[in-house]
Amino acid sequence: SDKLTAMKETIEAPSVAFGLKGGQVDITGASAKWRGASLSGSGTVGADGKLNIKAALENLQPDAIAPFYPDIAQYKIKGAVTAGVTVTGTAKAPKIDLSLTSGSLGLMDAVTFKNIKVATVLAGDLKALDKADLDLDISAAEASAGGVGLSNLAVKLKKAGQKVNIASASVNSGKGSIAGTGALTLPEKKGGEGEVDFTAKISGADLDFLAKSAGVAVPVGGTVDGTVTVKGPLSNPSLTVKAASPKVSASGFAVTDVALGLSGNAKEVKIEEFGAKFGGGLLGATGTVKLGDVPDATVDISGKDLDLAALTAGMPDAKEFGLGGKLNVNFKGRFAGASGKGEGAITSP
């Protein structure tokens, strides 16, 4: 037949080759087209009900899944997926090894994956699989988030009821790495609110690599270690950042013994702490940044015993002016978009 229809779904170009031996069915080959995807399979069904079947669904597009899962549109998935299935066990209690792979997959217009693979095992009563616990292994050779290049992504998840435990998550960024654990609590009903509690440890993050990945034109150097914690409702979780670096340089200027503390959410971030050795003295800052179409920042900056010669060492022709001495600096200001105002004082002890 050129096509078959079942449960309002059309199967195109169906073809099955099989043989019978005793009570066993040998499926030597099966193929079909469904919603633009190619389906193939083979295997055996024993007289005792035992299964050994392998199937693949290639070039599955997000639009093909949308009628069964309308909420998928909100994830803005771009890219084709290949599904591989191995079914063993019995018809009443099958074991299903499922893998999903894609050469290139995009999410939310912000995250992309290269050579991503998701694997899991389903077992038990088919009628209860939608409520079954799941172990998911996710890997990707490359990824990009917010313009930052990532590699060697590996995540292990375990779903039990409405809770998803992130047993481990790791990824490399340049020469640095990020590793984390945590949990997600999914909404119990449509329109409900989920929760997240996740902590990541950053080790040796390469600022030069991150800056270039994000398209920053200013040359930046140094490495950063720290922790990032995301906790609270999925719609607006709180963010806490603690970071430190032995040295950070940008455009010829350098600070050492840097410590940074941030807290906030998607609407506002507080600079709880910033401290560094700079220009022979100490530099500190606190402030608040309101996020949005036009960021609004309020800052309080102080510097003590700053060496003027060291501060200007990276400037062209600075030596010709013979600048020297130490300075104390205080500044408070507010900046919104391209406008700003503030006041401060510079004194020399």
**Residue 192, token pair as written in the block:** 């409900």
pLDDT at site 330 = 93
142 in Cβ contact with 113 (< 8 Å): yes
Confidence of residue 315 (pLDDT cuts 50, 70, 90): low
pLDDT tens digits along 150-187: 899 999 999 888 889 999 999 998 889 999 999 999 88
pLDDT of 324 over the 80 cut: no
Confidence of residue 91 (pLDDT cuts 50, 70, 90): confident
pLDDT of 208 over the 80 cut: yes
pLDDT at site 316 = 60
Q: Distance (Å, rounded) from C-alpha 229 to C-alpha 196?
A: 10
pLDDT at site 86 = 93
C-alpha distances in Å from residue 27, one per residue of 18, 90, 240: 4, 16, 56
pLDDT of 23 over the 80 cut: yes
H or E segment and range at residue 166: strand 163-173
Over residues 264-290, mean pLDDT: 91
Over residues 190-196, mean pLDDT: 84
pLDDT at site 318 = 58
The amino acid at 145: A
Neighbours of 143 (CB within 10 A): 21
User: With b meaning 16 or more CB within 10 Å and e meaning fewer, what string describes 318-327?
Assistant: eeeeeeeebb
The amino acid at 293: D
174 in Cβ contact with 210 (< 8 Å): yes
Beta strand 94-107 pairing with 111-123: antiparallel
Q: Distance (Å, rounded) from C-alpha 203 to C-alpha 9?
A: 51
Q: Would the pTM of this model clear 0.85, i.e. be above it?
A: no
Of 232, 233, 223, the residue nearest 202 (C-alpha): 223
Contacts of 44 by beta carbon, 8 Å cutoff, 6+ apart: 24, 25, 26, 27, 51, 52, 53
pLDDT of 131 over the 90 cut: no
- Which percentage of the chain shows pLDDT scores above 90? 42
87 in Cβ contact with 94 (< 8 Å): yes
pLDDT at site 309 = 74
Q: Distance (Å, rounded) from C-alpha 46 to C-alpha 25?
A: 6
pLDDT at site 130 = 58
Query: What is 225-250 written as a DSSP string?
Result: EEEEEEEEETTS-EEEEEEEEEEEEE
Cα angle vertex 332, ends 327, 337, to 5°? Answer: 125
Lowest mean pLDDT among 22-36, 100-114, 312-326: 312-326
Confidence of residue 1 (pLDDT cuts 50, 70, 90): low
H or E segment and range at residue 207: helix 207-213
Confidence of residue 317 (pLDDT cuts 50, 70, 90): low
Of 181, 76, 332, 214, the residue nearest 341 (C-alpha): 332
pLDDT at site 274 = 94
Which of the pair, 317 or 211, is modelled with greater confidence? Answer: 211
157 in Cβ contact with 135 (< 8 Å): yes
